[in-house]
Amino acid sequence: MKTQLRILSTLTVFSFLFFSCEKDVDEVTPIETGIDTTETVGADQAVPGEYIVIYKEDKSLYGKSGGVKAKSQQTLSKYAIQENNIKQTYSNAIQGFFVKNLSEKQVEMLKSDSEVAYVQPNYIRKLDVEMGEPVRELPATVHNKATTNDSWLPSGDFLPWGINRVGRADGSGKTCWIIDSGVAPHSDLNIDTNRSRSFVGGSWQDQNGHGTHVAGTVAAKNNGSGVIGVAYGATIVSVRVLNAQGSGSDAGILAGIDYVARNASNGDTWNYSVGYPYRQINNAVDNAFRNLEQTAYGAMAAGNSNDDTQYYSPQQLSTANSWCIGNMTRTDSPAYSSCYGSSVDRWAPGTNVWSTWINGGFNKISGTSMASPHVAGILLLRGNSTGTDGSVSKGGYTAPIATVN
């Protein structure tokens, strides 16, 4: 379990927890693509006419996508709203639906419905990471006694400095769900293609690179070539919620979280390296992660805004099974861009990290997105805990450095 080294946040949000042993038949409705993005969060970044409607708790509907769909249709019919405006329903991590083509008057009617907890716009998210320069061949390494180094193993595998710092072990037979831009086929990765899904339309395969990089840090094989991951040889499930440009909507992200909550097994982990670059609290996303952690524990990136996590969703959460991770450098110092705060549970390597990339290549990039999968791999090996070795302080907060042992 977590060692809490923080003051509890004073922010209060609504949480709806659902429990059931029954799982409904998996239903996947692709979220439509072609969403424009902007650089600021606010009304101009909400997709016009699109809303996420979240119901009050109904334990009898937990995991029953058909039941939630029927309830959603009944809700719209009460207000003479076309049922075909429903584009996605949620039944596990959260209960509700994504709807398009609503007028302001219709939104107000839905908000006043006695069964509805809240209604919120469908906002856009976009990756906040410099994408580096992909290569086909990994570089020669240089030893520096003052830092943790990249190196080559006798087996022929490239050992990124982050894996060297936190440790590694055999992850064969274990599964991590990557909620990201997808995961591209790669000789270094074991991908469960049967359970991989896209919630931005098209294939589950990564067309951006970010999700593939995350996956390699978690689980790249110990196979005598390429890089090696923390839980090397583990199985990866691609849950694609971001398009080729690294953009996605809350509606698609919630669908991906809901899918993991419906299908993950005890002992699986997830990684979520997505977030807003500007301050925003989002009840639906927060509540979805609260409920996801009832199924599986996992790690999320703290964010790259050099700000306190209390202003961001879902990074503000202080919960038992969702680990928020800051980005540290090779000298065990906090990265300048990394967010910090009472909700940051651990620090991990996230600066100049080599990992797998699209088209069978490799890339070196930086951010809390790169730190988080180190801890997702550790959780996969250890259960809901990490080892620690030292600590990192930033913004008046201190948290341990995560390790395998």
Q: What residues act catalytically?
A: 180, 210, 369
Rounded to 5°, angle at Cα 254 from 260 and 102: 150
The residues that bridge with 261 in the sheet, in sequence order, are none
The answer to whether the CB of 183 falls within 8 A of the CB of 189 is yes
Q: Which residues contact 402 (CB under 8 A, 6 or more apart)?
A: 166, 325, 346, 347, 348, 374, 375, 378, 386, 387, 388
